[in-house]
Structure 1
Amino acid sequence: MSNENLPHPRGGGGSSSLSVNDTIERRSSPVVAPRVWAMPDTPRARALGKELRVAREQSGLTLRQLGDLIGCSEAKVSRMETARRRLAPNSVRAFLDAVDVRGANRDRLLRLAYDIDEPVWWESGIGLPTQLTELIDAENRAVSITEVSEVLIPGLLQIPDYARALFAATDVAVEQLDRLIAVRLSRQRILNRADPVRYLVLLDEAALCRAVGGPAVMAAQLRAVLHACEASNVTVQVVPFSAGAHTGMDGPFLLLEFLRSRPVVHLEQRRCGAFLDDPEDVTPFQHARSRLCRTALSPNCSMELVAAYARRYECWEGTAHGDGTLAEIELQR
């Protein structure tokens, strides 16, 4: 088509077959921008992007080389890996072909791409903070979780009455209690699903002493811990008072490990949380886990100590706080 009858882009020179009214109409018509698929801003989308980046790095391809193989720009590949562009299943399939990902891992990543727009319970409009939804998503993708706790029974093992007492003590509004407890209980599904996560808890004995909710609630909570540990994927090891100072006293943390992605550490404070994924940041926590496993009682001895505390709370329901020495004496008997 000839350019002779088109208006000059700067408004001068050249002839035009368009009338003044035609020109005004064209200028007043809404401009339809090209459709750009934005990546859903969800933890699952970012997780898929990270896994694609890892697969590319393991293949030895640069962004430009991969772009040449799948017919797109280096910038587009970068946006795919950083979850700034929608990952359509066909794009993911081409990406995986180029980096030679096969078998079960390929099927898993393609399934994630197909399901990326499907809502999950923690993204279903129940008003959870972004940091919590990211933690829940990481817990659901993890194959192994290690939790170090100094003074509390971890949330993945808490019973409703224990959780309620904790929330009440931290000034959570009464009208929010039931919702928060339901979320906490829903998170525990990862322990008994078809492919349950491996869950290791390294627990300071102080957590057994603090009678959250009173002796009756604490007794029920410890019985629940014992019951959870009957499953082969759940292990609790207690660091006894007799161990003295230990590396777990630096603070609680959550170490999450995945099938393909790098492990991450989650640190939580009163009103904020943070993920660490740089290997230099994560390695010290992995070393801390190893040291604590050596310092703590064996799983069997830990269960005996937990049972001793449970019996103590059942016998002394009128006692508002515990004395670790009494439980240790009972255990020795």
Structure 2
Amino acid sequence: MPPRSVVTGRSTDPRRRFAEELRLLRTQRGESLRQLGKALGWDASLFGKMERGQTIGSPEVAEALDQHYGTPGLLLALWELAAADPTQFKERYRRYMSLESEAVSLWHYAVALLPGLLQTEGYARALLSAGGLTGDALTRQVDARIARCEVLHADNAPQFRTILSEGVLRTPLADTSEWRKQLEHLVAMGERTNVAVQVVRHDAGLHALTNTHTMFLRLPGGSTVAWVETGYSGELVQESASVERLQHAYDAVRDLALSPADSRKFIIQTLEEVPCEPST
């Protein structure tokens, strides 16, 4: 069993530090990437990318590596530091945005918030304000988000499917008039031929994506990547086996969702429950 390394002492960059530890533990064990992949059941290319700092993988992978190397909690702690690093998050998100602009189709699951591609200006402003943005910075971010929505209206618009947790529709804006506009916009977008909106009711129970926002991007060459986001980090998933596992989870959630037609009725019912503004 290799000795447990001290978390501090080499690179201070969280992502690089994680990659260094992975390489060290494997070389101390005398394993090849192929042997490691066979032992843990993941594609060897994933571990190669993790050791090169191209991806940090998932917490499940970090936990499996901790068990394999006999370093309980060490790699998971380093993974959490790497995932929380804001510099790396921005880098990964820029890469995701670039791929989103190229995608020929997109599949999305929402835990608590509407996807940016379906947000109205009022919804985007309220959401970004809640995140702490103000003034010119807020205006720039709102404008950028609304500009992204135009991709669904282009002549060669990609196919877009979103599956919304019922919680998304049960979290209204404080401004009821803006909330009505958002729900009306959601209904209208669901009528477009390139957009499908589905809802997963609360009574569908727990499922594999209960706490994970997920977006799949099918790229022009036929490959698919995924963006997975929780409350504290986001990760671009490109390794094929990992993407496939996420797709199986997504398909299972889709089986639980209302049909697009029934989802439209549910959204309209939610809209009818929004209080009308008092007349003046």
Report the alpha carbon displacement of residue 259 of structure 1 after superposing the two structures with TM. 2.4
2:265 paired with 1:290: no
- How much has 1:280 moved relative to structure 2? 1.2
Is residue 166 from structure 1 mapped to residue 124 from structure 2 by the alignment?
A: no
Q: Which residue of structure 2 aligns with residue 151 of structure 1?
A: 112
Shift in Å, 1:132? 3.8
Distance in 2 (CA, whole Å) between partners of 1:252 and 1:216 is 27
1:198 deviates by 0.6
Q: Which residue of 2 aligns with 1:108?
A: none
1:71-220 pair list within 5 angstroms: 129-220=90-181
How many angstroms apart in 1 are the aligned matches of 2:212 and 2:155?
A: 32
**Is 1:244 the equivalent of 2:205?**
yes
Whether the 8 Å CA contact 1:162–1:213 is kept in 2: the answer is no
Partner residue of 1:259?
Answer: 220
* Structure 2 residue aligned with 1:306: 267
Unaligned runs of 5+ in 2: 1-89
Measured after TM superposition, the shift of residue 272 of structure 1 is 4.9
Q: Partner amino acid for 1:134? A: R
| 1-structure distance, mates of 2:252, 2:233 | 27
Larger Rg: 1
TM-fit CA distance, 1:279 = 1.0
For residues 241 and 117 of structure 2, the distance between their equivalents in structure 1, rounded to whole angstroms, comes to 27
Letter in structure 2 aligned against 1:291: A
Read off the aligned partner of 2:271 and give its amino acid letter: A
- Residue type matched to 2:115 in 1? P
Q: What count of residue pairs does the alignment treat as equivalent?
A: 189
Show the counterpart of 1:229.
190
Give structure 1 stretches of 5+ with no counterpart.
Answer: 1-128, 319-333
Q: Contact 1:220–1:310 (CA<8 Å) still a contact in 2?
A: no
Distance 2:175 2:153 in 1: 28
In the alignment, the residues of structure 2 paired with residue 189 and residue 136 of structure 1 have an alpha-carbon distance, to the nearest angstrom, of 14
Asked if the contact 2:211/2:230 (under 8 Å) is kept, the reply is no
1:289 Cα deviation after fit: 1.6
CA contact (8 A) 2:107 2:217 kept: yes
Question: RCO greater where, 1 or 2, for CA within 8 Å and sep 6 or more?
Answer: 2
Q: CA RMSD in A?
A: 1.8
Amino acid at match of 1:260: G
Letter in 1 for 2:263: S
Q: TM-score, normalised by structure 2?
A: 0.63
CA distance, structure 2, for counterparts of residue 199 and residue 173 of structure 1: 31
Q: In the alignment, residue 173 of structure 2 is paired with which amino acid?
A: V
SS of 1:302 mapped into structure 2: helix
What SS does structure 1 have at the residue aligned with 2:252?
A: helix
What CA distance in whole angstroms lies between the structure 1 residues aligned with 2:146 and 2:193? 20
Shift of residue 304, structure 1, vs aligned partner: 0.4
Task: Give distance in 2, aligned partners of 1:134 and 1:288.
Answer: 24
Counterpart in 2 of 1:39? none
Q: CA deviation at 1:215?
A: 2.2
> Kindly tell me: are residues 309 and 172 of structure 1, through their superposed partners in 2, closer, same or farther at Cα, counting changes over 3 Å?
same
2:199 partner SS? strand
Q: Which amino acid aligns with 1:219?
A: R
